[in-house]
Amino acid sequence: MTFRTRLLIAFALTVIVAVAFVGAIVSTTTTRAFGRLDEQRASALAAQFHQEYLRRQREIAQHVKDIADAESTRDMVIALSHPDADASTYVDAAQPLAAAHNLDFLELVSATGSIVSSAQWSARFLYQEDWVKQRDDWNSQEPFLKREELPTDTALALVAVRVSIVGDSKLYVIGGEALDRDFLSSFVLPAGMRALLFREPQSIVGAAGPVPQTAALAPLIDDLRKQRREVTRTIQWTADAASAETFHAIPLIGPSDELMGAFLVGSSRAALVGLERFLLRVEILVATGGILLALLVAFWTTARITRPVEALAAGARAVAAGDWRTQVDVHASGEIGALAAAFNQMTRDLLEQRDRLVQAERVAAWRELARRLAHELKNPLFPLQITVENLQRARAAHPAEFDEVFRESTATLLAELGKLRGIVGRFSDFAKMPQPQLETVDLNNLVRESLKLFEAQMQATGVTLHLDLAAGLRAIQADPGQLGRALQNLALNAIDAMPNGGALTIRTAAHEDGVRLEVSDTGQGLTEEECDRLFTPYYTTKTHGTGLGLAIVQSVISDHGGKIGVRSEPGKGATFLIDLA
């Protein structure tokens, strides 16, 4: 990934993170504000509920008391107190009384607990309401919640009981109002809020009628049943988050401390979700615009920043490719400009140093060549000098034997001159190394053929040959003559490195995209410095030789597009590694 790309991504990420951060803050703040507003509205509605509940309690208590205190009711008490009283006369008495006092429920119950008249269920006359006889202080009791059975339903009622007493006779007046749709309709609800009434066991009504899909409210009801205190829960009606509603539930507790229902204040989250979605859309728009703007700015900025950097990188690549004359044309100020100037200075310094190094190496090479030539030539020259001096002394001191000495001396001279010619020939060969003639070669066969020449020598010196040749090795393109001589040169060096015998191991193997040839010996090994200089022409660790063998091997391998290396430690032998394509 380019620096410019990274810079662009960094710009874009910065914009996205910034927008997301701002968006998150706005969303969180908005959500909290809405939450607070919801809480305030729910609290206001809850307070409204409590006030309305108390108002109705007072109203119901007053209405029931009015009925109980009415003269007609007292007349009824008196009439019913007679032993032969006919209660059937009053069987329809409750309905008009209930209607006149705006009560949904009204039952007139005799002192024995028998219903004389029921407004809500007229057919229940003479049924027993024994619970009403269980206390005597009804006139001081506040209205309470009661589950009122109706012909086809069960209603939740706020009920008051008052007792009409005349002398020793009494009549219970049980009146109340239903907590139902009408009750809910009395609340003033802000937009987005609604009030529901839950009645045990599972009836839920709103101002508009029964609420469908009440199963979604089951967790809230369960919480109410367990906690029996005001609870708040968010209900999601459909998969759409906008359908969610936060419900604040106020439990309605009966006289026996049982949960009889609950007042549910629902606050729709549609507005909040709508606002959140709007904010999200704005964030996406801002982020997208920001990213595009950032890309434009970043493109322009990075172009200014990365152009000199890319020029420097190109210059560095050129230097790496060997063009040490490379100079970058950067007109920048600051660090980039300084870097470009330093780069140009560096290449100039490198060029100068390389020239000096080449010159020094040339000098060193010539010195080494001179040293080698001197060394190589000195060895045959010395016998030549001795032989010539012997000839001179023999002619002067022993003329009779001169012919004999002359014949022997000329033979020696010819031998030494032959050596000199050989030395000159090898130097000449190194200078005239030909280009390889490539053909398809089976490396394993080449190894076997090349090493046949050394079987007698290895046997004589106690060297054991181990061939570890990979089966199925693919053929390579090589000059078999040059590659064979290079292999023979390595084998000869290995045999020379083991004057007291040892093991010569030749190994071939597939390697990366080509093949590898390893030549290992168990000789005395090489030092690290020797390893570094081993392929330098005219360098040798042997007491004889020109020091050109490994240089020639390296030249052959290089001409084949391969590379050669050595791995060795003193006392642990040496291994030459040749990789060929």
Partner 1 sequence: MRAAPASLDPATPDAAPLTSLVFETLVRVDEAGAPQPCLALSWQHDATAKRWQFNLRPGTKLHDGSGLTAATVVAALEAALPGVTISATAAAGNVDAVIIRANHPMPDLLLDLAHNGWLDTGPFRQTAFEPGQRAEFAANDDYWGGRPFLDAINVQFGRGLRDQLADLELGKADVVEAGPADLHRASSHGRTIWSSAAVSLVALAFNPAPDARPREALALSIDRAAMHAVLLQKQGEPTAALLPQWISGYAFLFPTAQDLPRARTLANDLPPAARALTLTYDPAMRAARPLAERVAVNARDAGINVQVSPQNPHADVRLVEVRLASLDPEHALAALAAALGLPAPAGSGSAAALYESERKLLEDFRAVPLFQLPVLYAASSRVRVYTGPPVTRLGDWRFENLWLSGTAP
Find the part of the chain contacting partner 1 (CB under 8 A) among 102-110, 122-130, 189-197, 429-437. Answer: 122-130
Report the residue from 70, 121, 216, 253 that binds partner 1 according to the rule CB under 8 A: 121
Stretch that binds partner 1, among 121-129, 198-206, 361-369, 379-387 (CB under 8 A): 121-129
| Position 558, amino acid | S
If one asks whether residue 128 binds partner 1 (CB under 8 A), the answer comes out as no
CA 257 – CA 269 distance, rounded (Å): 33
How many CA within 13 A on the CB side of residue 302? 17
CA distances to 37, 190, 532 from 43, rounded to whole Å, are 10, 12, 89
Stretch that binds partner 1, among 59-67, 81-89, 392-400, 533-541 (CB under 8 A): 81-89
Least distance from partner 1 to the Cβ atom of residue 201, Å: 17
Q: Is 154 in the site for partner 1 (CB under 8 A)?
A: no
Q: How far apart are CA 472 and CA 444, in angstroms?
A: 10
Phi-psi region of 105 (alpha: psi -120 to 50; beta: other; left: phi over 0): beta
Q: How many CA atoms lie within 13 A of 207 on its CB side?
A: 12
Contact (CB, 8 A) for 115 and 108: yes
- Taking CB under 8 A as the binding criterion, the range among 84-92, 256-264, 279-287, 563-571 that sits at the site for partner 1 is 84-92
> Among all chains, which residue has been given the structure tokens 């839950």?
198
Among 123, 188, 414, 471, binds partner 1 (CB under 8 A): 123
Is the CB of 91 or the CB of 394 nearer to partner 1? Answer: 91
Q: Using the rule CB under 8 A, is 488 a contact of partner 1? A: no
| Strand partners of residue 210 | 205
Q: Which is nearer to partner 1, 70 or 85 (CB)?
A: 85
Q: In one letter, which amino acid is 32?
A: R
Amino acid at 513: D
In the complex, least distance from residue 79 CB atom to partner 1, rounded to whole angstroms: 12
**Chosen residue from 28, 89, 112, 445 binding partner 1 by CB under 8 A:** 89
Q: Is 243 exposed, middle or buried (0-12, 13-18, 19+ CB in 10 A)?
A: middle
Which has the closest alpha carbon to 523: 564, 492, 549?
492
Which residue lies nearer to partner 1 by CB, 80 or 91?
91
Among 82, 134, 140, 152, binds partner 1 (CB under 8 A): 152
> With CB under 8 A, what is the number of residues at the site for partner 1?
14
Least separation in angstroms between residue 117's CB and partner 1 is: 9
Bridge partner residues of 169 (DSSP): 166
Stretch that binds partner 1, among 19-27, 67-75, 117-125, 550-558 (CB under 8 A): 117-125
Nearest approach, Cβ of residue 221 and partner 1 (Å): 26
DSSP string for residues in 432-495 = TPPPP--EEE-HHHHHHHHHGGGHHHHHHHTEEEEEEEPTTPPPEEE-HHHHHHHHHHHHHHHH
Of the candidates 9, 25, 72, 127, which one interacts with partner 1 according to CB under 8 A? 127
Find out whether 220 and 235 touch, Cβ atoms under 8 Å.
Answer: yes
Please give the backbone phi and psi of residue 136, each rounded to the nearest 5 degrees, phi first. -110, -10
Among 8, 61, 67, 91, binds partner 1 (CB under 8 A): 91
Give the integer Cα–Cα distance in Å for 303 and 284. 27
Instruction: Give yes or no for residue 125 binding partner 1 (CB under 8 A).
Output: yes
Question: Which residue lies nearer to partner 1 by CB, 120 or 568?
Answer: 120
The only residue of 69, 75, 92, 153 in contact with partner 1, by rule CB under 8 A? 92
C-beta closer to partner 1: residue 96 or 274? 96
**CB distance 217 to 195 below 8 Å:** no
- Least spacing, CB of residue 274 vs partner 1, in Å: 46
In the bound state with partner 1, the residue whose beta carbon lies nearer, of 126 and 292, is 126
CA distance 279 to 199: 40
Q: Which stretch binds partner 1 (CB under 8 A): 68-76, 120-128, 307-315, 335-343?
A: 120-128
- Residue placing its CB nearer to partner 1 in the complex, 124 or 567: 124
231: left (phi over 0), alpha (psi -120 to 50) or beta: beta
Nearest-10 crossing angle of helices 549-559, 480-496: 150
Give yes or no for residue 323 binding partner 1 (CB under 8 A): no
Site for partner 1 in 531-560 (CB under 8 A): none
Query: One symbol per residue from 389 to 428: x for binding partner 1 (CB under 8 A), - otherwise; what is it?
Result: ----------------------------------------
| 151 lies in the binding site for partner 1 (CB under 8 A) | yes
Residues 228 and 187 sit within 8 Å (Cβ to Cβ) = no
Per CB under 8 A, the list member of 14, 48, 122, 488 interacting with partner 1 is 122
- 234 burial level (CB within 10 Å; 0-12, 13-18, 19+): exposed
The reply on whether position 259 binds partner 1 by CB under 8 A is: no
Nearer to partner 1, 149 or 361 (CB): 149
Strands 231-236 and 209-210: unpaired
- Of 258, 259, 232, 226, which is closest to residue 247 (Cα–Cα)? 232
Point out which span in 124-132, 189-197, 232-240, 439-447 binds partner 1 (CB under 8 A). 124-132
Among the listed residues 127, 208, 220, 132, the one whose alpha carbon sits nearest the alpha carbon of residue 170:
132
DSSP of 244-308, one letter per residue?
A: EEEEEEEEEE-TTS-EEEEEEEEEE-HHHHHHHHHHHHHHHHHHHHHHHHHHHHHHHHHHHHHHH
Q: Is 217 in the site for partner 1 (CB under 8 A)?
A: no
In the complex, minimum distance from the CB of residue 91 to partner 1, in angstroms, rounded to a whole number = 5
Instruction: State which residue, 153 or 222, has the beta carbon closest to partner 1.
Output: 153
Pick one of 65, 74, 124, 533: the residue that binds partner 1 (CB under 8 A). Answer: 124
Distance of CA 369 to the CA centre of its chain: 63
Q: Does 87 bind partner 1 (CB under 8 A)?
A: yes
Among 5, 88, 141, 185, binds partner 1 (CB under 8 A): 88
99 binds partner 1 (CB under 8 A): no
Give the Cα separation of 329 and 326 in Å (integer). Answer: 10
Binding region for partner 1 (CB under 8 A): 87-89, 91-92, 121-127, 151-152
